[in-house]
Each structure stands twice: as C-alpha cells, then as structure tokens.
Structure 1
C-alpha cells in the first residue's frame, strides 16, 4: 500500500510538472508571436521611429497564479449592443457570458463578449473577447486597459490566462486604430502583474 501511495504521489507530481511545463511553453509561444507581429511591417501597429526602435515587448514574469480556471456562465439570448471605441465610434458586441473567479482570496466577475462582425468569419466563430482594467493601468501597463482572447468553453469553466494579456493597438498608435474601450464593469481593483507591460516611449504626454 505504501508503494502504491508513493507511486501515485510521484505520478501526480509528474503530471503537475508536465502540465506547468506545457503552460510555460504556451505562454512563451504567445510572447514570441506577439514580438514577431510587431516586427513585421505588414502587421505591426507601430509607425516611424517606434517601429524602427522596436526589439521586443516587456513582459511581467510568468506567474501561474494568474492562470485561473474561472466559473463560466453563458448569457442566453443576449442582444447585440454597441461598445464605444477610442475613435469615438462604436462596434457591435454581444455579452456572451460571465467569468467568476478569485484573486488573493477576493471574488470577482468579468463580462466576456463576442464580436458581431468577427463571428461571421469562420476562423473567428469560437472567438471571445475579454477587455479589462486593473490597478497596473497607467503605471506598468496601458492606461486604457488590456485584452484577453478566449475560445468558447465546452463546459462551465473557462481558463483566464492573464499571462497572455496584451495592450490594444491604440496603445501604440492612437491615430490609425479604433479600439474597444473597456466597459466600466470589467474593472479589477487589484494589480494583475501578468502579461504584456507598457513602455514610457508610447505614453502620450
């Protein structure tokens, strides 16, 4: 019995370490792809000297405490509504669901949205959008908040990996892009020190 218990313990530790390693690789791939995108003149939002000087994004250290399995509640029969954008226009979205979770022992809820326009494209049929504010905004991250890209979950749990949180294009180029403004209800009163950080060079003084 002791040998069996030891084997089970070793197996669970192996599975856990394997899972952590896989998640770490996934996050590093996200970072590498984001850097590649911003270096590619065909895809980058950067212009002029900002593009010329760009080498890579600054990131918070990977922290698996910010990879959260949140309780997901689908909002049935939600009607489209308009989210204001940075250019003064609006874009149509649907409130697709709610994610409930805890950070540092405190419970929070964030709304998850689906773009009315993007969902019409086959490659985005399962795409969901989670914009959020947190206490790092305007200090270590963009003042307008950050975004998370998600996939429609198959059950009542959705993984929110804030290590993949990124700034909207408008954080780097306010003139060429119209980015959704984070709804007030998606504000976290805690500092989410994960994902992409922001450099002073892009701040508009």
Structure 2
C-alpha cells in the first residue's frame, strides 16, 4: 500500500513538472516578455495565437547594440499629436535628442515624453523611444519597434537595442499604437531585440 501511494505521488509530481514548461528566453528581458505574452491577463496576443505560444522570436543578444547616448534636453518643445494606427492621437513632446555611436557611425534619435503617460503613478519619468531601421518589413516588424527609457539624473542614457520590442499592433489589430516618426529612422540593420511575429 505504501509503495502504491509513493507511486501515485511520483506520478502526480512528475506529471505536474511535465506540464509546467519553463519560460523561454536568453536574457531576463526576454523571459519577462515571454511570460507577459503567455499570461492571458497581460498578453496582447489573440486567443488563438496565445494558446499555441511558446515564446517570441528574438535576435541573438549582441552587446555591440548596447550604447551610451548623450542626451540633449529640449525643454521648450511644444506638445503635438503623434499619429497612431487608429484615429486616436497621442499627445507627446520631444523630451530630448539622443546622440550615440553605433557600428562606426554617429546617429541621433528623438526621445519622447507622453502627456498622459507621465500622469500615471510610477511612470512620471518614463521616456518613449520608437525607431525604424533596415530590418523592418523583413526580419523585424514593418512598423518599427519601441524601447522604454527613464529620465536620467545626468546627460547620459544607456540604450539597449536588445530590449527593442514590437508595438501591440504587430500581434493584434485591436490596439492603437503610436506610429514611429520618420525622423527616428536608423540607416542600418538593427539585428537586436524582438523579431517579426509569425502568426499561428
């Protein structure tokens, strides 16, 4: 009888262990994003895609795409309506210009602050960095990608392109996503971060 009970416990334990698959990801960012997309309460995926979801497709982590950027603040810029993929507009302003070296060339990107976002608790210092690059429409999402940043104390910001992610619109057209301003186009292949999503 005792042996039988032990056998049942082992079967149950082994069965549960088999069902609970580890969250995929090479880095902490990748694991967190995959966990978010797998969870029905936080996932932007359509139900049919989420049920078969095992993990997003990422470019291989590349430390050369982690850069130190100089932030030139632009405190006098006006608020403007950033267009989105729907009729909604997002009130934004250019918080500053980020200049950095990458692959032997110098680039500059506008970094934005959202009027509505900055009123939310915990997001008072949030900055929005959308960008386009030469992988868009092939290896990465055609509409460009986003990076989340925070206002630094000084004038230097670390930009980790390995943390570039797709707008929710890449997964589900019910979302309204800011359209990346053309000024934030990088004339190179940014093979870092999330790749284009292959729908199931």
* TM-score band, normalised by shorter chain: 0.7 to 0.9
Aligned equivalent of 1:72: 71
Gaps of 5+ in 2: 1-25
Runs of 4+ with >2 A deviation:
199-202
Greater mean alpha carbon deviation, residues 94-103 or residues 164-173: 94-103
**1:200 Cα deviation (Å)?**
3.2
| TM-score normalised by structure 1 residue count | 0.82
Aligned equivalent of 1:169: 168
**1:28 Cα deviation (Å)?**
1.4
Contact persistence 2:170–2:197 (CA under 8 A): no
Measure the CA separation in 2 of the matches of 1:136 and 1:52: 28
Cα distance per residue 1:150-178 (max 9 Å; x no partner): 0101111111000000000000001x210
Measure the CA separation in 1 of the matches of 2:115 and 2:47: 33
Aligned ranges for residues 25-174 of structure 1 at < 5 Å? 28-174=27-173
| Alignment pair present for 1:188 and 2:180 | no
Q: For this pair of structures, how many residues does the alignment match?
A: 175
* Higher Rg: 2
Greater helix share, 1 or 2? 1
Cα distance per residue 1:5-40 (max 9 Å; x no partner): xxxxxxxxxxxxxxxxxxxxxx81111110011011
Aligned equivalent of 1:3: none
Greater mean alpha carbon deviation, residues 191-200 or residues 135-144: 191-200
**1:87 Cα deviation (Å)?**
1.0
| TM-score normalised by structure 2 residue count | 0.84
Gaps of 5+ in 1: 1-26
Aligned CA RMSD, in angstroms, stands at: 1.2
Cα distance per residue 1:176-203 (max 9 Å; x no partner): 210000001000010000011113327x
